[in-house]
């Protein structure tokens, strides 16, 4: 690769991010076409995908070398010290180039080869089928139908081909409505609630300005509200703050005038725009990246970043939507400005609250595929896959995942998947290793021929399902049919496992989760053994009956003869023991691992008055 000038640098130091005493690991840094790799003296490997790099920074030269700080999109921050400035400069330049590709074709997904053949790849892409999903919702009834005039993306470029609109609406109405909506994103079905016969629809803001009207658009909304026999009123949720929506009117955009539409109830929900969200996350990361952070600074930083306030706003909007459907059986139309950020958040979270299917592993994939990928959330722009406008980057999808995480915390039994699943999806949204999240809309994806040239993430996650299962999942409980989360502020917490995913020392040192998973594995193993034994016994008996006389064969009629029970129990105890031992090993609790040891050096020095203890502890004077 032309960007790589140095492939290997030795004696590089990796600093501990939160250490107050410049503790470090020494090792070798390798630069490959796709990854940056650091192998320390203990042979521990740290892999960093180039696409994950959000920023590289070269700090001022120090006596020990040239510091290089790399911030990743998965919130990993590494701090290297390269002994020679020239090497540092080379790596810095290479990383700058490698982490900012200009063309989609240069992304990892186009060279990633997981050793699958062509038919496996194709099958992988077919693993999620949205037509099936709409069928599952029960959409193909007399009221909704598949609208096929967007075959060549001629009505709306950023929508998928398959769209569902009310049966009573004709193409002319759709075209008229699309002309009255920002980016042509006319109202279409996102979710259909079969029991309540109510629909979640989505669109972009109307081009209403101060007074413009559009008859087709009004008819469109009328038609949507008529598909619902239970409630003639339909909610129109504008997910923006009112002020923003009003400001848009000056630009010829804006929001629905209630007087022009029959039977709508209009509601603002006040989620801030992508720029506010971007800077909020930026502030959050600044706060939690501080060394020796005090509790007060942490909370006041958390407050001033506004991050949790935004998360709450998104979740509140989704709850409003779910309530409209469950309590009032009303259909809801959701939009923001362009209808691909806040609208995707609110529609998908609303559906997640309403439908337990989306709380399964497969269902969650379907939900992301439907409300995010197909409806044109601009993943490439928002995640900064390519070197582009930094103002387009925003953690909209990350917020969605965080909202889901908050729900899993409140309803630990309602989700088939666990936190690791959410983190893994977050990882790959930014990794550009799979084709799913490349591009900004379906049209662009078709142009890139992603299905022919890249692999889909979903089959890989499904193959690894075991890792992502929530052991507490209770799919049968009626309690979790519709989730009604409580959004009082004290229910919102900082998501440590996301934003400090790679700062191992901050996490609990023992995991209940791992314990349960181990126990499950063990149970499976035991069950397998029981089956084998049963099989053997049967086999044995069959042999016996073959050789011995009729008299004996009577015994084999009773497979549960008391004689074999004790032997089973015995076996059970034997296999249980070693696993128990495995569970007992505690991460981070052995001498080498925890950072208290620095205290020794400090203490053994006779006079200096400062004792510094690691792990976020302040400095103490002797």
Partner 1 sequence: MEFSELIRTGRAEALLLPGPGQPPVRGTLCITSHHLLLSDGHGSPSDLWLLLRNVDAVEKRVAGNSGTITLKCKDLNILQLEIEGLEETLDIACSIEALSSLESVTTSYPFFYRPQGLRLGDSEYLHPPDDFYQQVALKTNAWRLSTVNRDFYVCASYPPALVVPCAIGDEALARSAHFRQGGRFPVLCYYHSINGTVMLRSSQPLQGANRRRCAEDELLLLEVLALGGGQGLVVDTRSAQAVKQARLTGGGTEAKAAYPGWKRLHRPLERGRPLQDSFVRLVEACTDPSLSMDRWLSRLDGCRWLTHVKEALTTASLVAQGMDREGICILVHGTEGTDATLLVTSLAQLILDPKCRTMRGFQSLLEREWIQAGHPFQQRCAHSAYTQGRPKNEAPVFLLFLDCVWQLSRQFPLSLEFGEGMLLALFDHAYASPFGTFLCNSEKERYLCEVKTKTHSLWSSLNQSKERKRLCNPIYSPNPLALWPSVEPQSLQLWAGKTSLRFHLPSLNPGSSPWLRSLTGFFHIPNSRSFLTLDSTT
Q: Could you tell me the smallest distance in angstroms from the CB atom of residue 417 to partner 1?
A: 15
Q: Could you tell me the smallest distance in angstroms from the CB atom of residue 298 to partner 1?
A: 4
Give the count of alpha carbons within 13 A of 406, CB side only: 27
Give the interface size with partner 1 as a residue count (CB under 8 A). Answer: 69
Nearer Cβ to partner 1 (164/307) = 307
From residue 572 to residue 601, the character string flagging contacts with partner 1 as x (rule: CB under 8 A) and all else as - is: --------x--xx-x-xxx---x-xx-xx-
Nearer Cβ to partner 1 (306/435) = 306
What tokens were used for 151?
């075959």
Instruction: Please give the backbone phi and psi of residue 441, each rounded to the nearest 5 degrees, phi first.
Output: -160, 175
Q: Could you tell me the smallest distance in angstroms from the CB atom of residue 308 to partner 1?
A: 5
Please pick, from the candidates 60, 211, 489, 573, the single residue that binds partner 1 as defined by CB under 8 A. Answer: 489
- At residue 332's C-alpha, the angle toward residues 327 and 334, to 5°, is 135
What tokens were used for 204?
């972009």
Nearer Cβ to partner 1 (266/599) = 599
Please pick, from the candidates 63, 152, 486, 550, the single residue that binds partner 1 as defined by CB under 8 A. Answer: 486
Sign of dihedral through CA atoms 467, 469, 470, 472?
negative
- At residue 135's C-alpha, the angle toward residues 132 and 141, to 5°, is 160
From residue 10 to residue 49, the character string flagging contacts with partner 1 as x (rule: CB under 8 A) and all else as - is: --------x-------------------------------
Q: Could you tell me the smallest distance in angstroms from the CB atom of residue 622 to partner 1?
A: 5
For 318, other C-beta atoms within 10 Å of its C-beta total: 29
Q: Could you tell me the smallest distance in angstroms from the CB atom of residue 598 to partner 1?
A: 10
Q: Is 267 in the site for partner 1 (CB under 8 A)?
A: no
For 172, residues 6+ apart whose C-beta sits below 8 A from its C-beta are: 216
3-state helix, strand, coil in the chain (%, to 5): 50, 15, 35
How far is the C-alpha of 226 from the C-alpha of 150, rounded, in Å?
Answer: 23
Nearer Cβ to partner 1 (35/312) = 312
Q: Give the CA radius of gyration of the chain.
A: 29
Exposed, middle or buried: residue 136 (CB in 10 Å: 0-12, 13-18, 19+)?
middle
Q: Please say whether the beta carbons of 419 and 406 come within 8 A.
A: no
Q: 274-288 and 307-328 helices cross at what angle (nearest 10)? A: 130
Nearer Cβ to partner 1 (168/510) = 510
Q: Please say whether the beta carbons of 561 and 555 come within 8 A.
A: yes
Q: Please say whether the beta carbons of 239 and 336 come within 8 A.
A: yes
Q: Could you tell me the smallest distance in angstroms from the CB atom of residue 162 to partner 1?
A: 38
Q: Is 283 in the site for partner 1 (CB under 8 A)?
A: no
How far is the C-alpha of 582 from the C-alpha of 125, rounded, in Å?
Answer: 38
Q: Is 608 in the site for partner 1 (CB under 8 A)?
A: no
Q: Is 230 in the site for partner 1 (CB under 8 A)?
A: no
Q: Could you tell me the smallest distance in angstroms from the CB atom of residue 344 to partner 1?
A: 22
Which residues from 501-520 bind partner 1, rule CB under 8 A?
505-513, 515-516
Q: Could you tell me the smallest distance in angstroms from the CB atom of residue 296 to partner 1?
A: 6
From residue 287 to residue 326, the character string flagging contacts with partner 1 as x (rule: CB under 8 A) and all else as - is: -x----xxxxxxxx-xx--x-xx--x--------------
Q: Please say whether the beta carbons of 451 and 459 come within 8 A.
A: no
Q: Is 286 in the site for partner 1 (CB under 8 A)?
A: no
Nearer Cβ to partner 1 (138/475) = 475
214 is catalytic: no
Instruction: Please give the backbone phi and psi of residue 263, each rounded to the nearest 5 degrees, phi first.
Output: 60, 35
Which residues from 432-471 bind partner 1, rule CB under 8 A?
none
Q: Is 409 left (phi over 0), alpha (psi -120 to 50) or beta?
A: alpha
Which residues from 398-417 bind partner 1, rule CB under 8 A?
409-410, 412-413
- The one catalytic residue in 66, 88, 203, 336 is 336
Q: Where in the sequence numbering do the catalytic residues fall?
A: 336
Q: Which parts of this chain interact with partner 1 (CB under 8 A)?
A: 18, 288, 293-300, 302-303, 306, 308-309, 312, 409-410, 412-413, 472, 474, 484-486, 488-494, 496, 499-500, 505-513, 515-516, 580, 583-584, 586, 588-590, 594, 596-597, 599-600, 603-604, 611, 613, 615-618, 620-622
């Amino acid at each position: 690769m032309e960007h790589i000038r140095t492939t290997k640098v030795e004696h590089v130091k990796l600093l501990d991010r939160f250490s107050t005493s410049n503790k470090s690991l020494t090792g070798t840094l390798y630069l490959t076409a796709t990854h940056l790799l650091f192998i320390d003296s203990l042979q521990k490997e740290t892999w960093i995908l180039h696409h994950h790099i959000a920023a590289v920074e070269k700090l001022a030269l120090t006596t020990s070398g040239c510091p290089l700080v790399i911030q990743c999109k998965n919130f990993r921050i590494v701090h290297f010290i390269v002994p020679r400035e020239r090497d540092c400069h080379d790596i810095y330049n290479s990383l700058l180039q490698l982490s900012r590709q200009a063309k989609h074709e240069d992304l990892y997904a186009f060279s990633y080869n997981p050793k699958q053949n062509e038919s496996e790849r194709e099958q992988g892409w077919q693993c999620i089928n949205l037509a099936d999903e709409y069928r599952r919702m029960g959409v193909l009834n007399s009221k909704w139908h598949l609208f096929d005039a967007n075959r060549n993306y001629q009505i709306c470029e950023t929508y998928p081909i398959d769209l569902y609109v009310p049966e009573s609406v004709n193409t002319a109405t759709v075209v008229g409505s699309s002309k009255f909506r920002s980016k042509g994103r006319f109202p279409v079905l996102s979710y259909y609630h079969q029991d309540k016969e109510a629909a979640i629809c989505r669109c972009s803001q109307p081009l209403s300005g101060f007074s413009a009207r559009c008859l087709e658009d009004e008819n469109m909304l009328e038609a949507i509200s008529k598909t619902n026999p239970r409630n003639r009123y339909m909610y129109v949720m504008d997910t923006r703050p009112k002020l923003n929506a009003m400001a848009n009117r000056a630009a010829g955009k804006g929001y629905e005038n209630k007087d022009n539409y029959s039977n709508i109830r209009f509601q603002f929900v006040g989620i801030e725009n992508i720029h506010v969200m971007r800077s909020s996350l930026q502030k959050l990361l600044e706060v939690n990246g501080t060394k020796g952070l005090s509790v007060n600074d942490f909370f006041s930083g958390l407050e001033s970043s506004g991050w949790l306030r935004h998360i709450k706003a998104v979740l509140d909007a989704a709850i409003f939507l779910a309530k409209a459907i469950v309590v009032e059986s009303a259909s809801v139309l959701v939009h923001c400005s362009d209808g691909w950020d806040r609208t995707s958040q609110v529609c998908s979270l609303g559906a997640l609250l309403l439908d337990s299917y989306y709380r399964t592993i497969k269902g969650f994939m379907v939900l992301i595929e439907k409300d995010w990928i197909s409806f044109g959330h601009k993943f490439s722009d928002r995640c900064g896959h390519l070197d582009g406008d930094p103002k387009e980057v925003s953690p909209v999808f990350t917020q969605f995942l965080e909202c889901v995480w908050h729900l899993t915390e409140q309803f630990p039994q309602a989700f088939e998947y666990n936190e690791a699943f959410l983190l893994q999806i977050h990882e790959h949204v930014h990794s550009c290793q799979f084709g799913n999240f490349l591009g900004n809309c379906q049209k662009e994806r078709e142009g890139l021929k992603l299905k022919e040239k890249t692999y889909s993430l979903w089959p890989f996650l499904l193959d690894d399902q075991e890792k992502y299962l929530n052991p507490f999942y209770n799919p049968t409980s009626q309690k979790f049919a519709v989730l009604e989360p409580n959004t009082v502020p004290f229910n919102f917490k900082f998501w440590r496992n996301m934003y400090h995913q790679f700062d191992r020392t901050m996490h609990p040192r023992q995991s209940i989760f791992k314990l349960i998973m181990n126990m499950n594995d063990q149970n499976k193993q035991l069950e397998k053994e029981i089956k084998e034994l049963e099989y053997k016994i049967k086999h044995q008996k069959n042999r016996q009956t073959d050789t011995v006389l009729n008299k004996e064969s009577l015994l084999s009629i009773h497979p549960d003869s008391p004689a074999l029970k004790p032997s089973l129990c015995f076996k059970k105890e034997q296999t249980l023991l070693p696993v128990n031992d495995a569970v007992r090993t505690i991460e981070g609790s052995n001498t080498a691992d925890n950072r208290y040891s620095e205290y020794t050096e400090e203490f053994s020095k006779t006079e200096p008055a400062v004792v510094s203890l690691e792990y976020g502890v302040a400095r103490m004077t002797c």
